Structure 1
Amino acid sequence: MSLRGGTMTYHNPKGRMGRRLIALTLGGTVAGFATLAAAQSEPEQRDEFFWLSQINKASVVINSQEGLLDPALAPEIAGALTQVIADGDQPDAERPGTVISFEPLWIEKGGIDVTLVHAGRSSQDMHATYRAAMLRDKLLDLASQLDATSTTLVDLAETHAETVVPNYTNGVAAQPNSYGHYLLGHAAGLARDAERIREAYARIDRSAMGTTVLNGTSWPLNRQRMADYLGFAALVDNAYDASQISSMDQPVEVAGIVTSVSLHVGNFVEDVMTQYAQTRPWILLEEGGDNTYVSSAMPQKRNPGILNNARSDASQAIALAMGPVIQTHNITPGMSDPKSVEDNAAMVDAGISALGRLDRVLKALRINPERALEELNSDWTASQELADLLMREHGLPFREGHHFASEVVTYARANNLGPLDFPYAEAQRIYAETVAETDHAKELPLTEEVFRATLDPVAIIRNRATAGGPQPAEMTRMITEARADLTERQDWVKARRDHIATALSTLDADFGALLTE
């Protein structure tokens, strides 16, 4: 893609489509145009040239059928347009991406009469329309990768539903948890990103065609029919909003989604990095490829290349997402600053890349359950359970129980003791001192067996009782619901793609029919 003198053009790479179109007969047959339409409909070809072509095709059909264009002229005008499209699809051909660069080619093929199609149109509404069409395609690409990465997360969560590991808050080991439960938490964050995509898509999936510059036209254009042909679900209602406000809002809203997605990727990667940096981590990466690489100087090191790359991808996406926000700041309505198709596509592609890299990270993770349990039992991440049990079963106010558990930890760390070897007699002494000035009995109401069982990380996870916790029944429920949600999300993407494809196919058939009249 290049920008020269305000004209944006695509340089079409050599490929199967160009080779297919070399042999295309431009005699105006429906079969020939169907071949052209099928080639053009490939997603990778939906650039500005493609959408200008679709808009022009729809204009010819609608205007000739609704009295805005002499039907006798329609076949010749349509044939000229077919030639322009075929020329643009040749290998290495220029694919003009603006109205003012597309129209001269059409005039060259069909004469000045082709401009009769321009009734009530402007580059303002035409460009706003193709930008929205291209951005919605990008959102569907982002949604597809998001769903793929989320599926990997949920699959891994199911695999590790019963794997007990430390979780961290403020960078410090906090409580035991199921690793599967932890992963479902991250999947929930991505699920909200999927919601944001669907919500934004509904606002972007609206046609600006027929609004002209900013206040409509005296031509009685059938805006709804145009929207239907281009696969839009609705119209931008207000003509001023169409190209002056909403077309500036759209990249900013998508930038917010890309930012959220990338923050989720970065948060996950940094959490893994914290653990990976330990001398004996319980989470590692499968070695080989670009997952890890050996230091050039220190042979013991296995640098986490894939984690570094994922973090870098996420950071790059966030940096690009700042662009539309900054470009929209302090400009008058309708200015082109934040509307660059190339820049906004690069922003979304960066988000897709970050999600794709996260997917690879997830597939490269290797969890060591035994080492994770050792980590838990070497520290006091289960100590809150003492306070909870004393309050739940023995009526001790939580703050008193919390003080008791805190004193146990203080003593343990001062004497290099872990939960598995803490002397029960010391627990009894600390408890008696903690409640000395209260009305509670001074004897620790937990037997030694119960005291030690209370500090068992595996038992803590198994005995959780709140909805949304890591206990087996809730894990089964949440995994089932997560999979159902993923199915709905994937169906949504497919339905949107199918709707656009069906609309464009209908347009191709109706336009092709003009060529035989």
Structure 2
Amino acid sequence: MVIYLQAFATGFERDYERIDHMYDHINRSPMGSMVLNGTGWSLNRERMASYLGFDSVFDNSYDATQLYTLEYPVEAAGVVTPIAIRVGNFIEDLMTQYAQPHPRILLQEGGKNTYVSSAMPQKRNPGILNNTRMDASTIVGDAQGAIICTHNTTPGLIDSRSPLTVEMVRDTAKLLDQFDDVLQALQIDPVRAEQELNLDWTASQELADTLMRDYDIPFRVGHHVASDMVTVARANDYHPTDFPYAEIQRIYAEDIAHADISEAPRTFPLSESQFREVLNPRRIVERRATKGGPQPAEVDRMIRESKAQVAKQEQTTAKRTEQIKSSLERLERDFQAYLK
């Protein structure tokens, strides 16, 4: 579950990068560009930009007032859409298992999290999930509307300058606040989660991997063994914790005979305790050695790096906010001094 949540955190890091790139584009002052070709008045555009907290000015006045005004809504839509889709993906994934009689992940009941069904007394509707997913879908729709408003539009026309762009950005900020509420309300049942893994033979591939890795049995043969094991298990309601050891010995012997691999062990090479360990989801997680895998050491590393990245992002945001604040304060001081 931790690596699952970490994956979404990594996705949100990419969202920040898109926001960061967009900020670089919009952090240029159009002041002084006028309608499209500047002005005859003696204006110091760089000074105006500094007073307003911009880093620089739009170099081309036609771009500032005619082209980027069409591009900005499209770029904003490209920023908010992945965020909304990712939130919606998470909610839908959560809802899929939430409908089970005994979910592994629930919401803390009450408040704005859940409400009692008006028809079924035993049912607790996940109101916060429903509302968050609906808002995410609305943002995706609004983003497409912003793009359509700029399509086949003559530069400079007002089609793309509707409040829709600002609204969808503000709505996305609200969506992230709602999503944080969802995460804070989650209650994970680790015992139930492990039961879920064992119910559908999630660990069956590890048997094929082990036969190949440790005993040089071709994966296609080990795959047949694991698949036949699952077929027998589902027909007899067996689970990894109680699958008869004699059955896997029989399945292995038959598949090896049909495969006609002379160098492979003729009898199942794993002891019963080794067989149980191979099918243990906890052990599988521990054995994953891939960079970025679910093993605790790698998950801890990714979490540390994500926290460091978040701290860096917070510093950048604070610096930009302070730059705007101090610039506007300087503008006010100088303007008041001018009035005197």
Question: One fold, TM greater than 0.5?
Answer: yes
- Runs (4 or more) in structure 1 with deviation over 4 Å come to none
- What are structure 1's unaligned runs of at least 5 residues? 1-178
Matched, 1:308 2:130: yes
- Deviation string, structure 1 residues 196-240 (Cα, Å, up to 9, x no partner): 000111001111122222233454532211111111112212221
Residue 388 of structure 1: how far off its partner (Å): 1.3
> Which residue does 1:27 correspond to in 2?
none
- Deviation string, structure 1 residues 53-109 (Cα, Å, up to 9, x no partner): xxxxxxxxxxxxxxxxxxxxxxxxxxxxxxxxxxxxxxxxxxxxxxxxxxxxxxxxx
Residue 385 of structure 1: how far off its partner (Å): 0.8
> Which residue does 1:491 correspond to in 2?
315
Pick from 306, 311, 317 the counterpart of residue 482 of structure 1.
306
Pick from 160, 170, 174 the counterpart of residue 338 of structure 1.
160
- When residues 438 and 215 of structure 1 are mapped into structure 2, their CA distance, relative to the original with a 3 A threshold, is same
- Deviation string, structure 1 residues 328-382 (Cα, Å, up to 9, x no partner): 0111011111112x32221112212221111111111111111111222222001
Pick from 287, 304, 310 the counterpart of residue 463 of structure 1.
287
Residues 395-414 of structure 1 aligned to structure 2 (within 5 Å): 395-414=216-235
Matched, 1:426 2:250: no
Residues 440-455 of structure 1 aligned to structure 2 (within 5 Å): 440-455=264-279
> Which residue does 1:238 correspond to in 2?
60
Percent identity for Structure 1 against Structure 2: 55
Residues 116-265 of structure 1 aligned to structure 2 (within 5 Å): 179-265=1-87
> Which residue does 2:175 correspond to in 1?
354
Query: What is the DSSP-based 3-state SS (H/G/I as helix, E as strand, rest coil) of the residue aligned with 1:361?
Result: helix
Matched, 1:382 2:203: yes
> Which residue does 1:328 correspond to in 2?
150
Matched, 1:393 2:217: no
Matched, 1:365 2:186: yes
Residue 435 of structure 1: how far off its partner (Å): 2.2
- Deviation string, structure 1 residues 393-449 (Cα, Å, up to 9, x no partner): 111222222221111111111111111111111111211222222232222221111
**How far apart in 2 are the matches of 1:408 and 1:427?**
7
**How far apart in 2 are the matches of 1:264 and 1:233?**
31
Query: What is the DSSP-based 3-state SS (H/G/I as helix, E as strand, rest coil) of the residue aligned with 1:245?
Result: helix
**How far apart in 2 are the matches of 1:210 and 1:298?**
63
Pick from 415, 426, 438 the counterpart of residue 261 of structure 2.
438
TM-score calculated relative to the size of structure 2: 0.96
**How far apart in 1 are the matches of 2:156 and 2:290?**
51
> Which residue does 1:417 correspond to in 2?
238
- Counterpart contact for 1:208–1:242, Cα < 8 Å: yes
**How far apart in 1 are the matches of 2:242 and 2:69?**
66
**How far apart in 1 are the matches of 2:125 and 2:196?**
22
**How far apart in 1 are the matches of 2:219 and 2:24?**
49
**How far apart in 2 are the matches of 1:217 and 1:515?**
25
- Counterpart contact for 1:379–1:419, Cα < 8 Å: no
Give 1 or 2 for the bigger CA radius of gyration. 1
